[in-house]
């Protein structure tokens, strides 16, 4: 049975309502940090196009979202860079993920991007498997490190 989903652009009024999704996949991000991050995207005051797209299931519940911005890639030109990708649907998570991927591709076309690039956390293995199954390929590895405290080099 195919379920229907509807995507929507996140507004300031939606920021608190979608926080439980963010917290479910990133419990280290508190509400204040999420509000600060999402307000900048919802207000669309950034120097490059950016925002958050949410996903509602047929019952009207928010079951997914992604945060995006346009980035420049040496190989591909303008890309839709997705830094947060969350899909949680109790009945059919596969269809929710596909609906969110479809919304990302639609946004990439709308913004004249040549490609989507989706960053997910290492622990989101099931989503990674589903994204790969939808034709997306791993292109790079992201490494992160907090700078060491101390004197700057001279």
Q: What confidence score (pLDDT) does residue 46 get?
A: 60
Q: What confidence score (pLDDT) does residue 54 get?
A: 94
| 10-residue mean pLDDT series, the chain (154 residues) | 80 92 91 92 72 91 92 90 87 87 94 91 77 79 74 67
DSSP state of 148: P
Residues 70 and 51 sit within 8 Å (Cβ to Cβ): no
CATH topology of domain 5-133: Aminopeptidase (3.40.630)
What is the widest separation between alpha-carbon atoms in the chain?
Answer: 64
d(CA 72, CA 11): 26
Residues 25 and 124 sit within 8 Å (Cβ to Cβ): yes
Q: What is the DSSP string of 26-41?
A: -TTS-HHHHHHHHHHH
The pTM assigned to this predicted structure is 0.83
Strands (E), the chain: 5-9, 50-57, 62-73, 77-87, 115-118
Which residues have C-beta within 8 Å of that of residue 58, sequence separation ≥ 6?
3, 4, 5
């Amino acid at each position: 049975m195919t379920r229907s989903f509807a995507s929507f652009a996140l507004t300031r009024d939606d920021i608190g309502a979608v926080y439980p999704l963010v917290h479910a996949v990133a419990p280290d991000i508190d509400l204040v940090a999420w509000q600060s991050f999402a307000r900048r995207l919802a207000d669309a005051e950034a120097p490059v196009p950016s925002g958050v797209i949410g996903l509602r299931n047929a019952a009207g519940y928010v079951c997914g979202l992604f945060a995006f911005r346009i980035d420049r890639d040496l190989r591909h030109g303008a890309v839709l860079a997705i830094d947060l990708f969350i899909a949680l649907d109790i009945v059919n998570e596969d269809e929710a993920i596909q609906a969110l991927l479809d919304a990302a591709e639609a946004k990439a076309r709308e913004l004249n991007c040549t490609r989507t690039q989706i960053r997910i956390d290492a622990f989101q293995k099931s989503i990674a498997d589903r994204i790969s199954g939808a034709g997306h390929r791993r292109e790079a590895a992201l490494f992160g490190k907090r700078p060491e405290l101390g004197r700057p080099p001279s």
